[in-house]
Structures are given as C-alpha cells and as structure tokens.
Amino acid sequence: MGKYLAMIRMRFLMMLAYRTDYYTGILIYSINIGAYYFLWNAIYGDKSSIEGLSSMQMTTYVAVAWMARAFYFNNIDREIANEIKDGKVAIEMIRPYNYLGMKTMQGLGEGIFRFFFFSIPGMLLVAFIFPIELPHEPATWGIFGISLLFSFIINTQINLLTGITTFFLYNNAGLIRAKRVIIDLFSGLLLPISFYPIWAQEVMKYLPFQGISYVPSMIFTNGYSSGDIGMALLQQLIWVIILIIPIQLLWIVAKKQLIIQGG
C-alpha cells in the first residue's frame, strides 16, 4: 500500500511542478461554467422549469458537473499511449508493481490534488458569482461524495481501456479524442440526460457514461427522489464491477503482445 500512496504523493509533486497547467485549468473551467450559465439562462428565458429542473437547479447542475469533472477527469489514457509509443513502458514493467494499478493511483493523485486546490476553491468562487443552491442536508453531501468516487472509478476504467488499446493499435490518438467527446456528451456534462429524447435516454441507460457525470450532479442538485438515488448508485457500482472484466482480459493479451518501440 505504501508504494501506491507514494505514487499519489509523486503525482502531487508533478502537479505542483506544472504550475501553468494549473492556472490555465482554472481559467478554462471558469469560462466553461460562465458560458453555460448564460446559455442556459437564455434557454430558460421566463420559463420556471424545463424537464423537471428549475433554472436555479440548472445553474447548480452546470457548476457542480464541471467541478466534479476536475476530480474524475484525467489523461491516463494519453499517458499510457505515450509511454507505449516512446517505449517508456519498458521502465514500468521492470518495477515490482501493477502497471494499471499505478496508473489509477496517478489518476487519483491528480484527482485529489484538483479536488482540494481547484474544485473546492472554484466552487466557492462560483457560488459567490452565480446564484446556485448548495444542498442543506449533510447526507446529500455524503452520498454525493460516494457517487463522485464511483464516477472517478468508471471514468478511469474507461481511460485504462482506451489506453490499453494502444498496445494493439500503436497509435490511437483518434480513439482517445473520440472517447473524450463521447464522455462529455453521453455522461450528461454538456446536457442533462433527462433533456435527451426518450429513445436516446433508453439507450444510455445501458451505457456506463451517465455514471460519470449525470448521477453525481443530479444527487447534488436534489434532482432525484430518494428511491432513484439508491438505484443510481447501484447502477454505478455495477458498472465499476463489469468494467473490470474487459480491462483484465485486454491486459492479459496486451502483455503478450507488448513490443518495445524504439530499441
């Protein structure tokens, strides 16, 4: 366990070494939240609610969805791809640890860093500028926390899957980009799932993506009834378990396939 904690610490140090990334990140997220705030304001106009969400809830949804993204989002798929492309994966394989486990820990290190130094101050800032509604009950905060952890795991698992495909494709920059757009779109980050047409909602029920953004954001905005919350969390948990299977299978094949590029 010590080595995994050490890796989280290492990622903290790396995040601190890249200060510019940190500052530009804050700027980009603020612009996004601001833009969506004005967009939704225009859409709502003088309507009090759309698809069961009030305009206040919508603003909160946008703000929390982006702040949650700061926690669950990571680039470990691209990191895996780069390590394979330049042969650095060889170095990872001579160390007594599980490569995917370590990558997950690096993602977690990044997530924790941004949660404390980005999401929380960001949320305070946003709450100050825009009218948003924070949950009153401590229980909601707790459930939101659990849900957010699940969304991190699901997103990381999908990233691992995308990353491992580099072992077979050698260059999967296109796939990585496509995955990113799909997640932003189908996870409910850009548009709450309840705004999609019924048939699309039906399809998305059977996909893991809404567990990434829609579920925690809905919990935070009190958009769920108490029965729905349990179902949503269960759904997240099921996806966490299901996604382990293809990752392990692909990993076994990938290790056999491995070619160290560049000598």
Partner 1 sequence: MSDAIQVKQLRKEFKSVSSRSGLKGAFRDLLTRNYKIVPAVNDINFTVKKGEMVAYIGENGAGKSTTIKMLTGILEPTAGEITVNGMNPHKEREKFTQTIGVVFGQRSQLWWDIAVQESFRLLKKVYKVSDEQYNDHMEHVIKTLDIGPLLDKPVRKLSLGQRMRCELAAALIHNPPLLFLDEPTIGLDVLVKMKIREFLKEINKKYNTTILLTTHDLGDIEALCERVIMLDEGQIIYDGELQSLKDNWAEEKQVHFQFIEPVELHELQSLPLPFTANWVYDEKHQTYMAMMKEESDHISQLVSAVVSHFKIKDVKIHETSIEEIVRNIYEEGTV
Site for partner 1, rule CB under 8 A: 2-3, 5-7, 9-10, 13-14, 17-18, 87-88, 90-91, 93-98, 255-256, 258-260, 262-263
C-beta closer to partner 1: residue 141 or 168: 168
H or E element in which residue 43 lies: helix 19-44
> Nearest Cα to 75, choosing from 113, 26, 110?
110
C-beta closer to partner 1: residue 21 or 51: 21
Q: Considering the complex, what minimum distance in angstroms separates the CB of residue 97 from partner 1?
A: 6
H or E element in which residue 157 lies: helix 138-164
C-beta closer to partner 1: residue 18 or 23: 18
C-beta closer to partner 1: residue 169 or 258: 258
C-beta closer to partner 1: residue 177 or 255: 255
Q: Considering the complex, what minimum distance in angstroms separates the CB of residue 88 from partner 1?
A: 6
Provide long-range contacts, Cβ within 8 A and 24+ apart, for 112-121. Answer: 112/8, 112/12, 112/71, 113/11, 113/12, 113/15, 114/15, 114/25, 114/70, 114/71, 115/70, 115/71, 117/22, 118/22, 118/25, 118/26, 118/29, 118/70, 119/67, 119/68, 119/70, 119/71
Angle between helices 173-186 and 76-85 (to 10 degrees): 170
Q: Considering the complex, what minimum distance in angstroms separates the CB of residue 5 from partner 1?
A: 8
Neighbouring-strand partners of residue 224:
none
Q: Considering the complex, what minimum distance in angstroms separates the CB of residue 12 from partner 1?
A: 10
Q: Considering the complex, what minimum distance in angstroms separates the CB of residue 91 from partner 1?
A: 5
